[in-house]
Amino acid sequence: MKILVPIKRVADPDNANKIKVAADGQKVTSDGLEWKLNPFDEYAVESALRLNENAKTSEKLGETIVVSIGNKDVGQTMRQALAMGADRGVLVAAEDDQLDSLVVARALKAIVDQEKPDLVLMGKQAVDGDSNTAGQMLAEMLGWPMATFAATIATTDGGKSFVVGREVDTGVLTLKVTGPCVITVDLRIVTPTAVKNGVTPADHPYADGARYASLKGIMAAKKKPIAETDLKTLAVEATPATKYSKFELPPARKGGAVFVASVEELVQKLRTEAKVL
Amino acid sequence: MTDVLVVAELLDGKMRKTTLSAITLAKKIADGTGGKFDVLSIGAGAKAAAAELATYGARKVFATEVAGGYIAEKFAPTVADLATKGAYGVVTATASTYGKDLMPRVGARLSAGVASDVSDVSTEGGKLVYKRPMYAGNVFGYVEVTTKVQVVSARQSEFEAAAPAGAASPIEDVAAVTDAAASRVEFMGLESVKSARPELAEASVVVSGGRALKSAENFKTVLEPLVDAMGAAMGASRAACDAGYVPNDLQVGQTGKVVAPKLYVAVGISGAIQHLAGMKGSKVIVAINKDKEAPIAQVADYFLVGDLFTVIPQLTEEVKKAKAAH
């Protein structure tokens, strides 16, 4: 099947505590931090590749297209997804201040209208803005059904539908969604048996996590096409509906843990000092 | 003057307590702007749940029966339609997985801007400014929504549950609005882990375990007795969830649940940024770890260095003793 995977680059999430705010509070700066593929998007690429391959024979069953919106440096991040095995990329040029989830969803809709994929598979949230909104908005704009926070995906009805296990607060909620549809993925989608496409043997030993790009993959990615377009060409209304007026760092917790020497001392402090026991 | 529509969350035909945080946000906006707030009870058993929802001081409670389990495609058209008809300035729900799933869909349907998972709102100068944790809680952003209607979800741990108030609100039935997308999605079931313990997001004490627990068995035999002695909810780090020691709905962190209990006890959790994002709002944090350099020390108030397999059983006994004595 044809799968479209929207991806975003984010400042290294493992060093998110090194994010700074400009002195005037107008800007978040991630100077000195590496750009990484948003982890959930990396997992979406991995699950798209699993859906689109017979892992036993290495036969390819469909096309996986990655799309990203932002300045041209995003192309580097896109090469990472191409090196994992995605077939081609679409880069929508835009300035960051033109973008919020509404504009992003509109731009993605324009790409979906052009590419007509059977499935849009994306991360549940980008770990910079932490909004968790673009996938749901895209689905609504397309008039498509969706399944968010997917921990498992199994194709059914000859690949036309998907049985999706969604991780929700109260447990696992299972939906059957008929394509074309939007699925957003959660962390467990990359566990060894989370994605079943009815072709790869169910007991195929997938590694836990997203695949690493092989050297061959990295070389091949250099030659894979990335088509470039922009918001204007796509006739996307590029007016964000949200406006950040200020950013600030959270107040530090009064640092310096008190080290206690024994269980007795801990319990006594919790009772008499913190008064929480 | 901004009127607010609160979308309630139901489970098994009853209001989920998560709803009460969105009501608190709605009250704050209504009080700050001289507006009113209404509540929509939607889903299976909506009419019965409306009676309970009517005790929180809303101007009106709407009830829309939708048979079967929750499906966003069935709910969003009704919410959006009611939002337009009632000329609400803000539509809100709590940012549980329900609110996170549903509200952006409502936003797109209304061509509205969405401020998700907000931790506060201010109403200075008639403008609503929402505070949002971003970058795993390492930055706060202050955001305005510039569309006529604003769609907002409230972080449960930051808005205290609303208390019952005044006379019962009138209840009005509203017909469901349908949409073609709903015909392509089918609810197949909800598998819940039933627990006698308090809910993680609502508990006043949370005891969480990390990968250092080493097995599902140890969560049961070592950690659970402490959890129960403290009358706590049990949580876990992502590493422990990923390792399969406990189900993922116990995960505390940036992409799991955000908790802010009175007391948070982190057992064998090193304190990755993603975990801290989910618990650093706790009033008192206790870390129990054999590595005193572990990053959890940056947020902990009390730190006990030691082997958890020795310390936890002792602590369980001490807590029992202390509770029995008072």
A139 interaction partners in chain B (CB closer than 8 Å):
105, 108, 181
B122 interaction partners in chain A (CB closer than 8 Å):
none
Place of tokens 């290495």: A58
B192:A149 CB<8 A? no
- Return all residues near B193 (Cβ < 8 A) that are at least 6 apart: A171, B247, B249
Say if residue B83 is in the same domain as residue B156.
yes
B24: distance to nearest CA of chain A, Å?
21
Chain B: residue whose CA lies nearest to A133: B104
The CATH number of the domain where B26 resides is what? 3.40.50.620
Say if residue B38 is in the same domain as residue B159.
yes
A15 interaction partners in chain B (CB closer than 8 Å):
273
pLDDT digits (tens, 9 = 90+) for A79-127: 999 999 999 999 999 988 889 999 999 999 999 999 999 999 999 999 9
A241:B147 CB<8 A? yes
Asked whether this complex has an ipTM greater than 0.85, the answer is yes
Q: What is the pTM of this model?
A: 0.94
Determine, yes or no, domain membership for B191: no
Determine, yes or no, domain membership for B208: yes
Say if residue B8 is in the same domain as residue B125.
yes
Determine, yes or no, domain membership for B192: no
pLDDT band at A30 (very low <50, low <70, confident <90, very high): very high
Say if residue B105 is in the same domain as residue B240.
no
Determine, yes or no, domain membership for B315: yes
B136: distance to nearest CA of chain A, Å?
7
B144: distance to nearest CA of chain A, Å?
5
Say if residue B161 is in the same domain as residue B277.
no
A274: distance to nearest CA of chain B, Å?
7
Count of structural domains within chain B: 2
- Yes or no: say if A46 and A172 are a contact pair by the CB < 8 Å rule: no
Determine, yes or no, domain membership for B194: no
For the four alpha carbons of A127, A130, A135 and A138, in that order, the dihedral sign comes to negative
Residue-by-residue pLDDT tens, chain B, 326 positions: 999 999 999 999 999 999 999 999 999 999 999 999 999 999 999 999 999 999 999 999 999 999 999 999 999 999 999 999 999 999 999 999 999 999 999 999 999 999 999 999 999 777 999 999 999 999 999 999 999 999 999 999 999 999 999 889 999 999 999 999 999 999 999 998 778 899 898 899 999 999 999 999 999 999 999 999 999 999 999 999 988 899 888 999 988 899 999 999 999 999 999 999 999 999 999 999 999 999 999 999 999 999 999 999 999 999 999 988 87
B101:A149 CB<8 A? yes
Determine, yes or no, domain membership for B57: yes
B76: distance to nearest CA of chain A, Å?
9
Closest CB to B303 among A17, A258, A264: A258
Q: Decide if B193 touches A, using CB distance below 8 A.
A: yes
Instruction: Identify the CA nearest to A13 among candidates B167, B273, B127.
Output: B273
pLDDT digits (tens, 9 = 90+) for A119-152: 999 999 999 999 999 999 999 999 999 999 999 9
Q: What string of DSSP letters covers chain A?
A: --EEEEE-EEE-GGGGGG-EE-TTSS-EE-TTPPEEE-HHHHHHHHHHHHHTEETTTTEE-S-EEEEEEESTTHHHHHHHHHHHT--EEEEEE--GGG--HHHHHHHHHHHHHHH--SEEEEES--TTT----HHHHHHHHHT--EEEEEEEEEEEGGGTEEEEEEEETTEEEEEEEESSEEEEE-GGGGSTTSEE-SSS-TT--PPSSPPPPPHHHHHHHHHS-EEEEETTTTT-----SEEEEEEEPPPPP---PEEESSHHHHHHHHHHTS---
Closest CB to B142 among A14, A169, A244: A244
A260:B304 CB<8 A? yes
The CATH number of the domain where B234 resides is what? 3.40.50.1220
The stretch A160-174 carries a mean pLDDT of 95
B135 interaction partners in chain A (CB closer than 8 Å):
11, 16, 19, 28, 127-128, 130
B273:A140 CB<8 A? no
B249:A253 CB<8 A? no
pLDDT > 70? residue A255: no
Say if residue B180 is in the same domain as residue B208.
no
- Return all residues near A273 (Cβ < 8 A) that are at least 6 apart: none
HSE (CB half, 13 Å, CA atoms) of A86? 30
Chosen from A173, A258, A269 to mutate, greatest number of chain B CBs within 10 A: A173
Name A174's bridge partners.
A165, B189
Chain B: residue whose CA lies nearest to A168: B97
Instruction: Identify the CA nearest to B92 among candidates B178, B203, B7, B219.
Output: B7
What does CATH list as the number for A3-252?
A: 3.40.50.620
Distance, in Å, from the CA atom of B24 to the CA atom of A34, rounded to the nearest integer, reads 39
Instruction: Quote the pLDDT of residue B125.
Output: 78
Chain A: residue whose CA lies nearest to B71: A175
The answer for B 65-104 residues in CB contact with A (under 8 A) is 69-73, 76, 96-98, 100-104
B138 interaction partners in chain A (CB closer than 8 Å):
16-17, 19, 249-250
Say if residue B229 is in the same domain as residue B176.
no
Say if residue B59 is in the same domain as residue B178.
yes
Determine, yes or no, domain membership for B195: no
Chosen from B134, B303, B308, B323 to mutate, greatest number of chain A CBs within 10 A: B134
Name A69's bridge partners.
A92
A128:B134 CB<8 A? yes
The answer for A 55-74 residues in CB contact with B (under 8 A) is none
Instruction: Quote the pLDDT of residue B225.
Output: 97
The answer for A 92-151 residues in CB contact with B (under 8 A) is 100-102, 105, 124-125, 127-141, 143-149, 151
Instruction: Quote the pLDDT of residue B326.
Output: 73
Say if residue B8 is in the same domain as residue B52.
yes
Say if residue B176 is in the same domain as residue B222.
no
Q: Decide if B272 touches A, using CB distance below 8 A.
A: yes
Instruction: Quote the pLDDT of residue B325.
Output: 84
Say if residue B207 is in the same domain as residue B172.
no
Angle between helices A39-51 and A74-84 (to 10 degrees): 40
* Number of residues written out for chain B: 326
A259 interaction partners in chain B (CB closer than 8 Å):
292, 302-305
Say if residue B169 is in the same domain as residue B28.
yes
Q: Decide if B192 touches A, using CB distance below 8 A.
A: yes
Provide the domain limits for residue B140.
Answer: 4-184
A167:B248 CB<8 A? yes
Closest CB to A247 among B112, B141, B326: B141
